[in-house]
Amino acid sequence: MGKRANNQATGKATKTPKLDPAFAPVADVLKNAGHLPERCRSMLIDLLPFSLVLAADTRSESQTTVVGMMEEAFMTVKSEMEAEVTSQMEKKQSTETAMADHGRVVEEGGNALNSQKEITDAAKSALDDATKAMDESQQTLTEKQNAQKSGDENLTTTRANKNSLEVVFKSISRLQWKSRKPQIMGHWNHFSISLISSNHYSLLCQELARKIKVIEETLMRLS
């Protein structure tokens, strides 16, 4: 009976008191103190009710030492968290800088594309103008060639008519010398007036041919 009573008394003496909920965040920080071994973290958490919850002026030397260890752990965790925040901020700034650089590159690429499009449009417009000018020049050349061809044909016809007129004039001169009859001279004068008033060689040739025929018929009647 006495032994059982002693065991029960010992169990009651070593039982860990319940942690005040107000210190639960402190326990969470200690649990996440990755720089400490697991056993050390568990020990500091178990010592919370016997150290940190007591007022500073009522703590023993050992309790003050334990609180100092907790404070050191907190400062280390704080430094790690601050370092992580700084790293994340630097990453964020680096990302924003990279995004700004990419945006500038995209903008410059867009400007270059627009400039190239303007150059291409200008070149296309110049090509269209050159093609149009070439087509117009080709059309003008064709018209000039056709006009020259027509002029050559007219020149050939004119030369032929001139030769015919020369032959006719020679025939008329020969007939005029053969006969001085008034009737023939009347035909000749009428022919000369018609010749002077006519402007077309073809009509002149036809008129001359007709006049020659009339003159020849008149000469035959007079002979």
Supply the mean pLDDT for the chain. 76
User: Domain containing 106: what range?
Assistant: 99-129
Number of domains making up the chain: 3
Query: Which residue intervals of the chain are DSSP H helices?
Result: 2-14, 24-31, 38-46, 61-178, 182-197, 201-222
Residues 6+ apart with CB under 8 A from 212: 168, 171, 172, 175
Asked if residue 110 belongs to a domain, the reply is yes
Q: Kindly state whether residues 83 and 104 are assigned to the same domain.
A: no
Could you tell me how many residues make up the chain? 223
Give the CA distances from residue 133 to residues 119, 120, 142, 148, 180, in Å, rounded to whole numbers and listed in that order.
Answer: 21, 20, 14, 22, 67
CB atoms within 10 A of CB 160: 13
Give the CA distances from residue 214 to residues 59, 162, 166, 220, in Å, rounded to whole numbers and listed in that order.
Answer: 164, 22, 19, 10
- Whether the CB-CB separation of 82 and 52 falls below 8 Å is answered with no
Render pLDDT for 68-119 as a digit per residue (tens, 0 to 9).
Answer: 999 999 999 999 989 999 999 999 999 999 888 888 888 888 888 888 888 8
> First and final CA of the chain: distance in angstroms?
197
Asked if residue 183 belongs to a domain, the reply is yes
Task: Give SS3 for 23.
Answer: helix
Asked if residue 3 belongs to a domain, the reply is no
Asked if residue 153 belongs to a domain, the reply is yes
Residues 6+ apart with CB under 8 A from 49: 16, 17, 18, 19, 20
Per-residue pLDDT, averaged over 15-32, amounts to 78
- Whether the CB-CB separation of 57 and 65 falls below 8 Å is answered with no
> What does the alpha-carbon distance between residue 27 and residue 43 come to, in Å, rounded to a whole number?
11
This prediction's pTM: 0.41
Q: Would you say residue 130 has pLDDT above 90?
A: no
pLDDT at 72 (0 to 100): 92
Q: Kindly state whether residues 123 and 149 are assigned to the same domain.
A: no
Residues 6+ apart with CB under 8 A from 191: 172, 207, 208, 211
Residue 223: CA count within 13 A, CB half-sphere:
8
Per-residue pLDDT, averaged over 185-195, amounts to 51
Q: Kindly state whether residues 151 and 217 are assigned to the same domain.
A: yes
Per-residue pLDDT, averaged over 187-214, amounts to 61
Q: Kindly state whether residues 84 and 107 are assigned to the same domain.
A: no
Asked if residue 134 belongs to a domain, the reply is no
